[in-house]
Amino acid sequence: MNDGSISTALYHFLAANFHQDWDLEADDWQGIVDNYANQDPTAGPLRTLAQEIDDLRGARAEPDLEHYLVRTVGVYYGPQPLTYKEWLGQVADRLRQQAAAFEDGSSD
């Protein structure tokens, strides 16, 4: 996937977890990712999602990425002072960390 489109799974992850009331679900974006990962603690889907995030980051320039996430997907999380690309990179890394923890049997 290199055209900047996203899978249903990635759309659902972003739209359902970073909606306008995301801060009622967790104190920060890390908590949102951790909550998501703990709903189905299997490594494979988390790694796939992380790779799709990497693909999205590589396919869209920052202004287009921000517009796409906010206007099309409905992401209400503002990552300032980070860019959306930087933030998504951290989200992907956290998903990989969660996947590794589940594989090792040492999740948070």
Q: Kindly state whether residue 3 falls inside one of the protein's structural domains.
A: no
Q: Return the pLDDT at 4.
A: 58
**Helix, strand, coil percentages in the chain from 3-state DSSP, rounded to 5:** 70, 0, 30
Nearest to 52 by CA among 87, 18, 16, 89: 89
Q: Kindly state whether residue 72 falls inside one of the protein's structural domains.
A: yes
Question: Quick one: pLDDT band at residue 2, thresholds 50, 70, 90?
Answer: very low
Q: Return the pLDDT at 40.
A: 85
Domain count, the chain: 1
What is the pTM for the complete model shown? 0.90
Residue 50 near residue 99, CB atoms below 8 Å: yes
Q: Kindly state whether residue 33 falls inside one of the protein's structural domains.
A: yes
**pLDDT digit string, tens, across residues 74-95:** 999 999 999 999 999 999 999 9
Q: Kindly state whether residue 79 falls inside one of the protein's structural domains.
A: yes
Question: Quick one: pLDDT band at residue 33, thresholds 50, 70, 90?
Answer: very high
Nearest to 84 by CA among 75, 72, 93: 75
Q: Which residues form the domain of 45? A: 8-104
Residue 108: pLDDT over 80: no
Q: How far apart are CA 84 and CA 53, in angstroms?
A: 11
